[in-house]
């Protein structure tokens, strides 16, 4: 009888163990099914994305080729702009040099004018003259007799000629 009870207990324990193993295996099977389904969806998504990535790469390559072509077309324009900038720089430098030389000439001739102006001012202080009695012609007659105006024109003509010869 002990043998029969022992065998019955062993059989009952084995059945309980089998039931729990079956439940565990069913849960594992469900997890593996979900994992398989997820992996299939990921594979599908990767396939779709790889196609789209290939399309994007092709478009990027065509855009790159187009941009390179347009940049090559712009090179002569940019070179022309650079040349215009260089010419403007040279013109500005030449104008600055002419201006500096003319100002130097004017400063050399201006001490004489300043000394005569100082003497005239000293005379004017001794004999004040009502400015309202001066006419436009009498106030500016001395400018018409000045020899500086043709000198200016002469120097501008010389500078222009030098610039023209320099550029040729």
pLDDT at residue 134, rounded to an integer? 44
Positions in the chain whose pLDDT score sits under 70: 110-153, 168
pLDDT at residue 146, rounded to an integer? 45
Angle between helices 148-167 and 2-126 in degrees, nearest 10: 140
pLDDT at residue 148, rounded to an integer? 47
pLDDT at residue 109, rounded to an integer? 75
Give the angle 62-68-70 at the CA atoms, nearest 5°.
105
Contact 82, 143 (CB under 8 A): no
Phi/psi at 134 (5° precision): -75, 140
């Amino acid at each position: 009888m002990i043998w029969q009870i022992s065998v019955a207990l062993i059989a009952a324990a084995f059945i309980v163990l089998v039931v729990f193993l079956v439940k565990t295996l069913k849960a594992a099977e469900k997890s593996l099914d979900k994992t398989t389904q997820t992996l299939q969806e990921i594979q599908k998504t990767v396939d779709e994305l790889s196609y789209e990535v290939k399309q994007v790469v092709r478009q990027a390559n065509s855009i790159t080729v187009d941009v390179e072509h347009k940049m090559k077309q712009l090179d002569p324009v940019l070179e022309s702009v650079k040349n215009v900038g260089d010419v403007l720089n040279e013109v500005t430098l030449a104008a600055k040099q002419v201006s500096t030389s003319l100002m130097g000439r004017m400063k050399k001739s201006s001490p004489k004018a300043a000394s005569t102006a100082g003497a005239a001012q000293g005379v004017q202080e001794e004999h004040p003259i009502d400015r309202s009695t001066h006419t436009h012609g009498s106030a500016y007659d001395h400018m018409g007799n000045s020899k500086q105006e043709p000198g200016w024109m002469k120097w501008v003509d010389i500078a222009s000629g030098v610039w023209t010869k320099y550029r040729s």
